[in-house]
Chain A
Amino acid sequence: MYRYDEFDRRFLEERVAQYRDQVRRRLAGQLSEDEFRPLRLMNGLYLQLHAYMLRIAIPYGSLSPAKLRVLARIARRYDRGYGHFTTRQNIQFNWIKLEETPDILAELAAVEMHSIQTSGNCIRNTTADPFAGAADDEIEDPRPWCEIIRQWSTLHPEFSFLPRKFKIAVSAAATDRAAVRLHDIGLYLRRNAAGEVGFEVLVGGGLGRTPMIAKTLRDFLPKHRLLAYLEAILRVYNEFGRRDNLYKSRIKILVQALGIDKMRDAVEREFGAMGESALPLPPATVAAIAAHFAPPTLAAPGADDETELARALAQAPALARWVRYNVAPHRAAGHAIVTVSLKPPGRPPGDASAAQMELLADLAERYSQGEIRATYEQNLVLPHVRRRDLPALWRHLGEAGLATANAGLASDIISCPGLDYCSLANARSIPVAERLSRHLAARDQEIGELHIKISGCINACGHHHVGHIGILGVDKNGEEFYQITIGGSADENAALGAIVGPAVPSAAVTGAVDTLIGVYLDLRREGERFPDTYRRIGAAPFKEALYAAA
């Protein structure tokens, strides 16, 4: 994991001091709320329905036990004992007092964390594959590049007042676990015909009111030119992105207006004009950062590891089920990647209590080389677990309500905060998620992989457009209704869902989802996931089933 050097530390101290002074000026009345708002937003502090909400960055989803313990401490001391993991590898605290925020930021700084650029029209927290450095399908570890981007984008003087927020995601694996194609810039590490590793650069993805899948801007960018190329894209966007209409100001709209070819011309022209020496990334610089991400030394598996595990699995079907769904292959023999579900049936997706965070910090130290990751699916990951330790880990997790065996299944629902917290919401999303997960949990295994995603308004924080089944809260004459989409997908074959028909009232959502799942179960062929069946048979059978009854 990246460790701050003296410069990073000094920078963050300066930042906390600056923010403390801004809060002082606000409380002293020297700054109006209008003037203070952009400053607090640059530090992730939103004013919500009931209180301030503080959003803290977890750069590329990477957490250490020390960091997680401080998050637990913040939950206990400054909030109501829990935090909420979001779809952007951030954590949010919903009950924060303005006066206390400088102290919270100081506590975070002590463990090399901050909330810089978790809000505002700047380059946001860079997200990445939560299995990075452990996955068996990865070309190389993407985290050094994420850290390079994190540093370059931190308080970037030219790009802190862009037309709109700007999100970058990175993956180096065959399976996209970072929703790369739904970002303003998506980066895939790829190997070219000559065997060199570089970036495929995508641009113009995004959700919100006008969802779009990113398009390829460059098939192959040499790694050492990464920052110059990013800067060229951002400069073009800063100059030409629309500023007259909030809803048309993301880079996706610019790409749509120009067309990808003209966009490419503009970026390549700027990139060429910058010259070879712009924003150099000499091998020594890259190597120094990469050294922080050296793979952990993992013990070779013992001769009886697998027989021991098999015996434990045979004795405990619940453990076997958890291993089946929440455990993924690791690149090192005898090891596994564990997904810790934050989706117990009937509970708000992504919430974790202070006690749970502290337990996970301990378990990460004991079983996972001191590493924890946050996923955009609002779960946590222990990336380096010895397979032999799985039964013990599972027992510990289970005691804290963290062993729900549903990763990637129907009850593993993504949901935004919705009307329970958010001032922009049209409808509640958490209670809908709670009802659905309670209802579906018993059928998880029968249904198999299924991604249900819920947003409380068209801003799409809950990714509903790319849910296999997406649920969007809408307001119909003051009543909460839900529009349902099907066939979306957030992986390497990203696709936007299609609306099935008129929105349904809150009480009918669970039944409607049941009906859609019923059609899928009836008509699916061997090995087909929900979107596969949908692509094969089209929307008609789903529509008929859903609206015939009415």
Chain B
Amino acid sequence: MPLLKDGRVGDDPWRHPDDAESLPDDAPATVSLARWRTERDALARRAGRIGLRLPNDVSPLELAEDVGRFGLITLAFPRFTDGRAYSQARLLRARLGFRGELRATGNVLRDQLLFMRRCGIDAFEVGERALAENWPAALGEFDVFYQPGEDGRPWIARQRAAG
């Protein structure tokens, strides 16, 4: 599925094998949380980079010890109205200091991109429409924000303090 990242729509370099499949030797690959829990030590020794597919009903705080090992964590938006992963994203960035790629998957829509970006999500699994409808532009629709965010852009309190 196409990936929107760094303002461009491109291919996904990661593989996402399900639990029954074996992992590629050195290509970057994600695993389910269940697989991570049972094969943790073996996976940690693997040559290729490892990513985690985090379900949206598990607190990232349970993974506090592990997040440094992941190059990618995918977050789930089974329906765009199910906003649990917004909090997961903020906890991963602000509380746990996760610095790898945070990717939104599932029912990702243009008009939610900016909310996601502000919560620290920096990659988005998108459909073919993303190119035709200029989705990257959605990330630039605002430059004033009333809350601190996890994307490094200034928020209003700081701008006001700066005068």
Contacts and interface: CB of A to CB of B under 8 A. Distances in A.
A38 B114 CA distance: 15
B141 A238 contact: no
A288 B160 CA distance: 10
A243 B82 contact: yes
B146 A161 contact: no
B144 A121 contact: no
Contacts of B115: 155, 157-158, 160-161
Contacts of A17: 141
A254 to B, nearest CB: 13
A235 B89 CA distance: 12
A285 B161 CA distance: 8
B2 interface: no
Contacts of B141: 14, 17-18
Nearest to A269: B61
Nearest to B95: A273
A423 interface: no
Contact of A285 (B114, B117, B157): B157
Nearest to B129: A30
23 contacts: A10-B143, A11-B142, A18-B142, A30-B133, A35-B109, A38-B80, A151-B146, A151-B156, A155-B115, A155-B142, A155-B145, A157-B116, A157-B145, A157-B147, A158-B119, A162-B83, A238-B83, A239-B84, A243-B84, A273-B95, A279-B148, A280-B157, A285-B160
Nearest to A158: B86
Contacts, number: 90
A399 interface: no
Interface string A206-250: 000000000000000000000000000001001100010000000
B59 interface: yes
B114 A157 contact: yes
Nearest to A5: B160
Nearest to B82: A243
Interface in B120-163: 133, 141-149, 156-157, 159-161
Contacts of B161: 284-285
Tell me whether chain A's interface is mostly helix, strand or loop, or mixed.
Answer: helix
Contacts of A10: 143-144
A7 B156 contact: yes
B39 interface: no
Given A156-B147, A161-B82, A238-B84, 7 more contacts: A18-B141, A35-B109, A153-B146, A157-B117, A157-B149, A162-B83, A239-B59
A39 B111 contact: yes
A154 B86 contact: no
B32 interface: no
B87 A239 contact: yes
Which of A14, A235, A243 has the most C-beta atoms of chain B within 10 angstroms of its own C-beta?
A243
B103 interface: no
A38 B115 CA distance: 14
A154 B111 CA distance: 15
Given A14-B144, A18-B142, A273-B95, A161 B87 contact: no
B146 A155 contact: yes
Contacts of A25: 133
A152 interface: yes
A159 B81 CA distance: 11
B86 A161 contact: yes
Nearest to B133: A30
